[in-house]
Amino acid sequence: MKCIKISCKITFFLIYMLSVILVTDVTIRAEFIPSIVENDLDGCSFCEVASKIKEDAKIRVAVYELPGFLDKNEGEYLGYNIEYLSEISKYTGWNYEYVECKDINQALDFVREGKADITGGIQTGGYNEEGLNFCEYTSGTMYDCMVTMFVNEFIYGDYAVFNDITIGCTQGYIHQKEFVEYANGAGYTPRLTYYNSLEDMRKALYDGELDAMLVNSMERLPDNERIIDKFFSKPFYYVTNENNTELEEKLKNAIASIKVNKPDLENTLSKKYFDDTGAFPYTKSELEYLVKAPVIKVGINKDRMPISYKNADGRDVGISVDIFNLISGYSGLEFELVDIGDQLVSDVLKEGEVDLVAGISDENCPQINASELDWSNAYLNSVAAMVGKKGFEFKRDGNYKIGIVDNNELFVAYIKENYPECEIIGYKDVEEGLNGVVKGEIQGVIDNTYVINAMLLRPYYSELCVVPTVNIAENLRFVSLRNNTPIISIIDKTIASISEDEINTCVLHYTVTTYDYTFKDFVYKYRVQIIIAFPLLIILICLVVYIKGLKKKAEYDLLKERSQRDVLTKLYNKGAFRNLVETFINDEGNKDRKCALIFIDIDNFKSVNDKLGHMVGDETLVKIANHLGECTRDKDIVARFGGDEFCLFAVDMPQSAVKSFAQRATNVLSFGCTSKEEEKKDIVINVSASIGIALYPENGRTYDELVECADKAVYEVKESGKNGYKIYGKVDE
């Protein structure tokens, strides 16, 4: 017992000495950025016109029923069109009045005659376009499809069989001539039978008078039908009157903003509302290829953790590798991964070392003529970012040295456009570039965010951080030399069938993780302390394993916390806020507690960014977050939704207290913003807050209901002049 006590005393003494040695740097500095770090308003040039639109605008939309695209259920409109219009309204502030039409032609007539302002789902070339203006940007893509009954045994794309079947189409089918030409080119002569309506044609299919029928992809299929061919990929647009140029400009900018901020929206809505019509089954020739397909050699850089790398066991792992496994599982293709390091794509493809190269963007393959290549769709949508020393301010007109890995053409073009005075320095890998930043040889280095985040977990890079104003889309694809095999087509169709959740699982598996410290990392981190404490080093080594475990747990806890927080303001992010509120609401013990969901939209914030700069904009957002922290209690949940939007959930706050809080918040969130820059020191931008409030449980018992009510209340405040608050459903006193 005495020996144990003495040992404990010695252990405590050593722990004390260790704590003294490590006191200067105990916290693990790790950066976790699974999503894009950016000022939400930076780079929104598409929104400049849309941001000036009056929020009380009333837009008449000519609508016609088309299953999936627009349905009417108990007086409520639903479908692709309604959700897309809702996204447009986020950038325009439009409110909609729906004008019912019997069909597309009447909808176009209404717009032409001024009875409606806009209609959607229109293809060019098939209608009378006189007096109309098609939006510059598409709002989706439709296809024509050949559909049959599930009981029929026709194979997708089996054109030899199509010679012997009867195909139905409606009178006035706008692509009749093109379809006949398409069929002839595919090697069969279609036997067409015409019907007055889709209903008549479908009845004939069900009665056995037809083998197949022609529909477009905006027609939701019943469960007993399936597609056996697809053709005529054509975009569709929103259409306005040719004389309403102001509305057309607002519409164009809104859709452009959607394409920048929600690039997958059209694909998501198609999958949601059009079911199988958005899918591309394998053709007969593709199925035949899959049966006898050889092992596909895929060239990839195996030193890009966490995208693709070898783990301690020598196995190929990473985000891309997991996605390849999904593609293999869905299609049956078998991949063999070949490490090509930093070799040029042109060399490995032309020399026949591999069949495909993966993990590159189409902008980064300048060595081969585009006509010689087949590109797949993106299997991973990611971004690239710049890393510099903490506290260093990057200015667009600054004269810096910026590192680019492998002379990536996409990154080079970005630097030349946004930092024209900068000198570009090439590096063979990101580690070499980061070392250059640490040593002061360069001021920043650019690479994929996932790769950057993994590297920044290392202690040697603890003084570096991501530059929030640099944000470059880098969508990773497969590429091959153009040949007669259907590999790229098969991969594209397989990628389309993989859900977003499955891709996110692959990403999270390698980004929400801890860094396994090496002995070299440890020696670097504690180099001074080790020299000072050398007599204790032998004993300390025995304690390292235990301490390392504690550090990994602390690091994991830190990463988990940061994944829930907004990087700039340190408030909860939108996803974490939703989870916390839903957890509270779903607790039976809370069902009768009086609470409030308070949505806050900062007025005039865009002017702060535009006139004073994004640095002042960031400072303003932090100041607003601090004010909200002063106004709230520990049990309240406060979050930044993004941009200039904040939200909080006030627990145990009755209506009388809500009014008091809202008035106090309105007061503290009204202040002037100024810049320290000499040329801007006389500019003062006054910001204020428009606050919408939804009461729980009075206005709703679910998160979505409360957010919707609070959002509507905010718009009422905006319409009445901003800088105030409104409780949903309550008459102002």
pLDDT in tens, 310-330: 988 899 999 999 999 999 988
Is this model's pTM higher than 0.75 or not? no
- The model's confidence at residue 508, banded by pLDDT at 50, 70 and 90, is confident
Q: Which pLDDT does position 49 carry in this prediction?
A: 36
Q: Give the model's pLDDT for residue 54.
A: 44
- Give per-residue pLDDT as tens, 540-591: 676 666 777 777 777 776 777 778 898 899 999 999 999 999 999 999 999 8
pLDDT higher at 156 or 212: 212
> 3-state DSSP call for residue 511?
helix
Alpha helices in 195-277 (DSSP H): 198-206, 245-261, 265-274
pLDDT for 52 equals 40
pLDDT of 363 higher than 70: no
Least confident span in 245-259, 496-510, 704-718: 496-510
Give the closest residue to 235 by CA, choosing from 146, 374, 120. Answer: 120
Residue 95 confidence (pLDDT) above 70: yes
pLDDT of residue 711: 95
Q: Note the pLDDT of residue 611.
A: 92
Q: What is the mean pLDDT of residues 408-415?
A: 82
- What pLDDT score was predicted for residue 470? 66
Give the pLDDT score at 32: 37
By percentage, how much of the chain surpasses pLDDT 70?
A: 85
Residues 251-272, mean pLDDT to the nearest whole number? 83
Residues 6+ apart with CB under 8 A from 290: 282, 331, 332, 333, 490
- Residues 6 or more apart in contact with residue 232 via CB below 8 angstroms: 143, 144, 175, 178, 179, 182
Task: Give the per-residue pLDDT at 346.
Answer: 77
Which strand (E) or helix (H) includes residue 447? strand 444-448
3-class secondary-structure state, position 29:
coil
Instruction: Give pLDDT, residue 416.
Output: 87
pLDDT tens sequence across 141-156:
888 889 999 888 888 8
Q: Does the pLDDT of residue 252 top 80, yes or no?
A: yes
- Residue 518 pLDDT: 65
pLDDT band for 458, please (50, 70, 90 cuts): confident
pLDDT category at 709 given cuts 50, 70, 90 is very high
What is the mean predicted confidence (pLDDT) over 193-216? 92
In this prediction, residue 40 has a pLDDT band, given cuts at 50, 70 and 90, of: very low
**How confident is the model at residue 658, as a pLDDT?**
93
**pLDDT > 70? residue 342:** yes
Q: What is the pLDDT of residue 608?
A: 93
pLDDT in tens, 519-545: 666 666 656 666 776 666 677 676 666
Distances (CA, A) of 652 to 302, 330, 503: 54, 50, 39
Q: Where are the alpha helices (DSSP H) in 115-244?
A: 159-162, 176-186, 198-206
Q: What whole-number percentage of the chain has pLDDT above 90?
A: 43
Distance CA 400, CA 406 (A): 19
CB 362 within 8 A of CB 477: yes
Please tell me the distance from the alpha carbon of residue 169 to that of residue 178, in angstroms, as a whole number.
Answer: 13
Residue 475: pLDDT above 70? Answer: yes
The predicted structure's pLDDT at residue 540? 62
Q: Report the pLDDT value the prediction gives residue 628, as an integer from 0 to 100.
A: 93
Alpha carbon distance 76, 70 (integer Å): 10
* Residue of 266 and 2 predicted with greater confidence: 266
Instruction: Transcribe 526-567 into DSSP letters.
Output: THHHHHHTGGGHHHHHHHHHHHHHHHHHHHHHHHHHHHTB-T
The pLDDT of residue 697:
93
Task: Give the highest mean pLDDT range of 17-31, 230-244, 261-275, 548-562.
Answer: 230-244
Sign, CA dihedral 200-203-205-207, equals: negative
Mean of the per-residue pLDDT values of the chain = 83
Place of tokens 């609508």: 63
- Averaging pLDDT over each range in 291-295, 408-412, 713-717, which range is the top one? 713-717
